[in-house]
Structure 1
Amino acid sequence: MLKHFIALSGIVLLSGCVPSKATQQETQQYRTESMQAVKSSEENLSKQIGDVSTSIDQQNAQIEKLQQQILVMSTRVNNLAKHNARALLEFQSQSQTKKEPEKPKQLPPNDNLVVLGSIETVHFKEINKSFEARIDTGAATSSLNATDIHKFERDGKKWVKFNISEETSTDKPAEGTDETAQKEPIIVEAPFIRWAKVRQSNATESHRRPVVELWISLGDVRQKAQFTLTDRSHMSHPVLLGREFIKDIALVDVSKVFIQTEKLQ
């Protein structure tokens, strides 16, 4: 009897040491979930590393592009400085000899730059109309005396309709005419390019004005130019050509007018 009791007690004790099937399943599930969590973390970390690597590559490409642009701009600035120095030396030489200077038309062919006066006549192809324009290297953008400006869409693209006014601060009515009479405005439609902020010299606040692109001719120069549409009725000329139009194609001799064109009659 004692032997049977001892054997039975041993079996009971051994059965308590062996894990149940449910415990084994829970342990296996815990291990599986842990492995999945580790794998998911590794995948997320790998993706983040890939995103960072892609971002670094993009930044390096952008830096390289900016360096190339800086190199091109530096070359242009150096060339322009050489052109200006050459023009200044020529002007000083002519002044010292007191000879009648020849009317400059163009620098040597390898420079491919023209000399403009501070005022030139500009012809607008779209409306077949010419205006006297002030050439101003102090202004970054070109501007056009425009009124009654409206935006609209044509074939899904943005356009601008406006009136070009020929009235300026220097216009005076002819003798015997009604002082209140105004010149008939010229209606123009042109593709909208962008918005530009404009601030008048006597104002502190800037205003958003539309920018359009028009074909113009100035002597032998024919190309598209961007114009900010703004009120220039208080200015001496309805058109202003700034640095964006002049750069890479012309130099300006502010002591002369109508070098490349004739004055409007």
Structure 2
Amino acid sequence: MKRAARIFVFLLTGFLLICFAAGCGSDSFIIKRQDLSAVSNRLALLEQRMDLETEKTDMLLDQCRDQKQFLAQSMKQHENSLQGLEQQLLRVHDETKNKLTALESAKKPQPVSRPVLEKSGTDKLLIGRLEKVRLTPPGRVFHARIDTGATTSSLDARNIETFERDGDRWVKFQIQEPEKETLYEVEKPVVRHVRIVQASTEETTRRPVIELQFQIGGTKRIEEFTLENRSHLDYQVLIGRNVLRDLMIVDVAKEFIAPLAGEKPSEKKNK
């Protein structure tokens, strides 16, 4: 731009000089020296203005290049950020999917093992009409009444409350320690509910059934127990046919003949 302006000014100046030389010999075309000086001054000003405009144009071009470079860098950074966010979302999705799969697997009912860990020397354990039984939880020894007429064993439970946990039915209750006021709080999943008809009133009650580990003599198993308030009865635990079948023989004339580990047989009645 500067070079073109200078060429234009040079040509214009030469043209004016030629005209001035030609006019010196003619009366029809005469340019005064003052006029030529004024033209030269105007041309100089015009050249300065053109130089300023050229500098402004160059500055604008530089700013445009810088802005273009800045925008390109910003777009690249945003693209990298979006790629990182996409990868993070994919990882979270996979982790959530794995957790849901594990949760679904945990919700499936697991087979309950009922191993006989110990047995006496005979094929079936001989027990009396009253026996000591260890229940876990709470890991305490209770005096139990043996009832061959009861289908399911029963446990004395206080403050029974049913609730839901992870979509399954659970029950919370308290067990009183034998001959003490101590209460143990226990939470167990509900296996099922049973309806009991009261012989005296013919009213029907619905009771939760849970699974507990018990030990009588040298026999340990996991079996079902119905929860009910037995505070009005003599014994906190009742052992029914679901525990006795295929494992024990009852001699109703005797009591406490199947001692737990470390105990000796005794025929004393529970007081």
* TM-score after normalising by structure 2: 0.49
Partner amino acid for 2:157?
A
Which residue, out of 138, 141, 144, partners 2:149?
138
Unaligned 5+ segments in structure 2 are 1-118
Q: Distance in 2 between matches of 1:219 and 1:196?
A: 28
| Contact preservation (8 Å) 1:166, 1:238 | no
Identity %: 41
The structure-2 alpha-carbon separation of the partners of 1:106 and 1:141, relative to structure 1 and needing over 3 Å to count, comes to same
Partner amino acid for 1:232?
R
By relative contact order (CA 8 Å, sep 6+), the higher-ranking structure is 1
**Equivalent in the alignment of 1:90:** none
Q: Distance in 2 between matches of 1:199 and 1:166?
A: 28
Q: Deviations over 1:170-209 (max 9, x none)?
A: x7xxxxxxxxxx7132211111100111233422112001
Partner amino acid for 2:229?
D
Partner amino acid for 2:126?
V
**Equivalent in the alignment of 1:218:** 216
| Contact preservation (8 Å) 2:120, 2:218 | no
**Equivalent in the alignment of 1:184:** 182
- Paired positions, count: 145
Partner amino acid for 1:245?
V
| 1:107 to partner: Cα distance | 6.8
Q: Deviations over 1:35-74 (max 9, x none)?
A: xxxxxxxxxxxxxxxxxxxxxxxxxxxxxxxxxxxxxxxx
- Which has the larger Rg? 2
Runs of 4+ in 1 over 6 A off after TM superposition: none
Q: Distance in 1 between matches of 2:172 and 2:208?
A: 11
| 1:106 to partner: Cα distance | 5.1
| Contact preservation (8 Å) 1:145, 1:230 | yes
**Equivalent in the alignment of 1:248:** 246
Partner amino acid for 1:163?
Q
Unaligned 5+ segments in structure 1 are 1-104, 172-181
Partner amino acid for 2:225?
F
Q: Distance in 1 between matches of 2:187 and 2:160?
A: 10
Q: Deviations over 1:131-171 (max 9, x none)?
A: 1100010111111111211122334332211012357xxx7
* TM-score after normalising by structure 1: 0.50
Which residue, out of 109, 134, 137, partners 1:123?
134
| Contact preservation (8 Å) 1:145, 1:166 | no
| 1:235 to partner: Cα distance | 1.0
Helix, strand or coil for the counterpart of 2:243? helix
**Equivalent in the alignment of 2:161:** 150
| Contact preservation (8 Å) 1:123, 1:130 | yes
1:203 and 2:201 equivalent?
A: yes
| 1:126 to partner: Cα distance | 2.0
Helix, strand or coil for the counterpart of 1:244? helix
Q: Distance in 1 between matches of 2:172 and 2:190?
A: 9
Helix, strand or coil for the counterpart of 1:132? strand
Partner amino acid for 2:188?
A
Q: Distance in 2 between matches of 1:130 and 1:146?
A: 15
| 1:228 to partner: Cα distance | 0.8
Partner amino acid for 1:148?
N
Helix, strand or coil for the counterpart of 2:191? strand
Aligned counterparts, 1:1-265, within 5 A: 108=122, 112-165=123-176, 183-261=181-259
Q: CA RMSD in A?
A: 2.4
Q: Distance in 1 between matches of 2:170 and 2:203?
A: 26
Q: Distance in 1 between matches of 2:226 and 2:174?
A: 13
